[in-house]
A and B are shown apart, each in its own frame.
Chain A
Amino acid sequence: MNFTQWLLAFSGLGLVLLGLLFIAALMVYGERRILALLQDRLGPNRAGPFGLLQPVADFLKLLTKEHFVPPFADRNIYIIAPIIVPFTALLSFVVVPVSDDWWLADLNIALLFILALSSLRVYGIMLGGWASNSKYPLFGGLRSAAQMISYELPMSLALMGVVILSGSFSLVDIVAAQELPFIIFQPIGFMIFLVCGIAETNRLPFDLPEAENELASGYNTEYGDIKFAFYYLGEYIGVLLIAALIAVLFLGGWHGPWLPGVFWFMLKTLVLIFLFFWLRTSLPRLRYDQLMNSGWKLLLPAALINLLGTALLGLFWMEG
């Protein structure tokens, strides 16, 4: 690659990065407005037109706060941990195809890449809870580790069904294989991936790692200023990632009649993001034993059966 190509590649990456940060900021605003809509409130509507500048105000507030490291914290890990979370979520977007000719990288192991990064994400939260050296963050970190490990298994097993149907780990090939969306062939897989996706992003009703009512704020109790903003950013990028992944893997990505592919992809992602917010305001948090029971006793067997069924299907119909 010569200099111009490098420059193009890096400017493309920079643009995607800025775009994602912009979307995450809009999601913060959108979530607050949608929660307000469903709770008979108005939501933030003061800063700028319709309150659209609210995320800017929030960000400036967090940025100008004192950069404080608690004296009892493990300083280096305390500072590094919040960077890991948005980093892994942002990196996963490299392989997400937005339309039929628009993606950053078409890895042939894209799904494994995403699963590996989502495993790394646990470290951000767990180490943050550990390094804070305080009881609530520790509990939050422990819970998050247990929860993410438990839900990653059914999540990856549910993805294997998609891999069998499309015959590829590359997201571009998977979308290309979906003349009919995979949700029709993999309804159980879709449900499992949706539930596990919510659990992976620590959203309600699976927000045990930061359960406000029990753990103050869980793993990020000791975090303030820009370090907290990183966790916050990571959470919303994670939601965006899971929504985009569901759209790509199960809802047919860019496929759709009449309109251009980008629009269909965005529409599907937006509907899923709305579902995330809707679930947040509707459902109470699971108890810890319920969380573990549903993960190991319901979702894991269901994912295994689903995988077995899909494998048999693939063996007898698709090969023959």
Chain B
Amino acid sequence: MNKKQTNNYTLALIKGLGRSLWAVLRHAFVKRETVSYPDIKRTLPSRWRGRIVLTRDPDGEERCVACYLCSAVCPVDCIHLQARQNGDGRRYPETFSIDFSRCIFCGFCEEACPTLAIQLTPDFEMCERHHESLVYEKNQLLIDGQGKHPGYNFYRHAGVAIPGKAIGEAEGDTPPVDRDNNLP
């Protein structure tokens, strides 16, 4: 390195030093990024993946049909439920528990749910002093509202079984395809 290069290098060094010092000092007068959290709470995006709830359809019935898809897709196995059928053949979860001490809030259960029953909400303030308190049972999960999908009722699209009539016998119903004999 010859002398001229050394001088240029030193000059650039001093200039760079001054510039970074000045740039940092200017930040003393910039608006703060931090929010004083418990006093000021930011509104979270509506798609925020927080506390999980079970929703009801517009008629006030449970949307969940206990298909076990959420439990199956859950990567940390934190969803446990027990299916049951009532008199008209409608399935519902007898018990439903989510262990929030294991839940990673990935939202897979919401994506897997065919009836839009299980939903993640923008609420993350669920601290507890004991692990056991983080296991939410069905009465803690089930809410009275419809959540993110108002007006959706699974059975309006899928139809319901009518006692005494097989599939295809109802009015305006097409008989099911016999897949063993559907040759042209």
Interface of A toward B, CB cutoff 8 Å: 36-42, 45, 278-279, 281-283
Q: Interface centre among B17, B23, B27, by most A CB within 10 Å?
A: B27
Q: Closest 7 CB pairs between A and B?
A: A282-B24, A42-B34, A40-B33, A41-B34, A282-B20, A282-B21, A37-B28
What are 14 inter-chain pairs, A to B, with CB distance below 8 A?
Answer: A36-B34, A37-B27, A37-B28, A38-B24, A39-B27, A40-B32, A41-B34, A42-B34, A278-B24, A281-B24, A282-B23, A283-B17, A283-B20, A283-B21
**Does B25 make an interface contact (CB < 8 A)?**
yes
> How many Å from the CB of A281 to the closest CB on chain B?
6
* Contact call B36/A42, Cβ cutoff below 8 A: yes
* Contact call B20/A40, Cβ cutoff below 8 A: no
- For A39, list chain B residues within 8 Å (CB): 27
> Of A41, A281, A282, which contacts B33 at CB under 8 A?
A41
CA distance A281 to B26 in the complex (A): 12
**B interface SS class:** helix
* Contact call B20/A38, Cβ cutoff below 8 A: no
CA distance A41 to B32 in the complex (A): 5
Q: Which B-chain residue is minimally distant from A46 (CB atoms)? A: B36
The interface on chain B, measured as residues whose beta carbon lies within 8 A of the other chain's beta carbons, has a size of: 14
CA distance A283 to B18 in the complex (A): 10
CA distance A279 to B24 in the complex (A): 9
Given contacts A278-B21, A282-B20, A283-B20, are A38 and B36 in contact (CB under 8 A)?
no
**Does B183 make an interface contact (CB < 8 A)?**
no
Apart from the given pairs A278-B21, A283-B20, 8 other A-B contacts in the complex at a CB distance below 8 Å: A36-B34, A37-B27, A40-B27, A40-B30, A40-B34, A41-B34, A45-B36, A282-B20
Q: Which A-chain residue is minimally distant from B20 (CB atoms)? A: A282
- For B17, list chain A residues within 8 Å (CB): 283
**Does B47 make an interface contact (CB < 8 A)?**
no
CA distance A45 to B20 in the complex (A): 27
- For B21, list chain A residues within 8 Å (CB): 278-279, 282-283
**Does B31 make an interface contact (CB < 8 A)?**
yes
- For B34, list chain A residues within 8 Å (CB): 36, 40-42
Given contacts A282-B20, A283-B17, are A38 and B32 in contact (CB under 8 A)?
no
CA distance A278 to B24 in the complex (A): 8
> How many Å from the CB of B144 to the closest CB on chain A?
37
CA distance A39 to B24 in the complex (A): 8
- For B36, list chain A residues within 8 Å (CB): 42, 45
* Contact call B33/A38, Cβ cutoff below 8 A: no
Interface digits, B1-40 against A, CB 8 Å rule (1 contact, 0 not)?
A: 0000000000000000100110111011011111010000
Interface digits, B167-180 against A, CB 8 Å rule (1 contact, 0 not)?
A: 00000000000000
- For A45, list chain B residues within 8 Å (CB): 36
Q: Which A-chain residue is minimally distant from B28 (CB atoms)? A: A37
- For B30, list chain A residues within 8 Å (CB): 40
Q: Which A-chain residue is minimally distant from B19 (CB atoms)? A: A282
Q: Which A-chain residue is minimally distant from B29 (CB atoms)? A: A37
- For A40, list chain B residues within 8 Å (CB): 27, 30-34
CA distance A183 to B122 in the complex (A): 60
Q: Interface centre among A37, A41, A282, by most B CB within 10 Å?
A: A282
CA distance A192 to B3 in the complex (A): 22
- For B23, list chain A residues within 8 Å (CB): 282
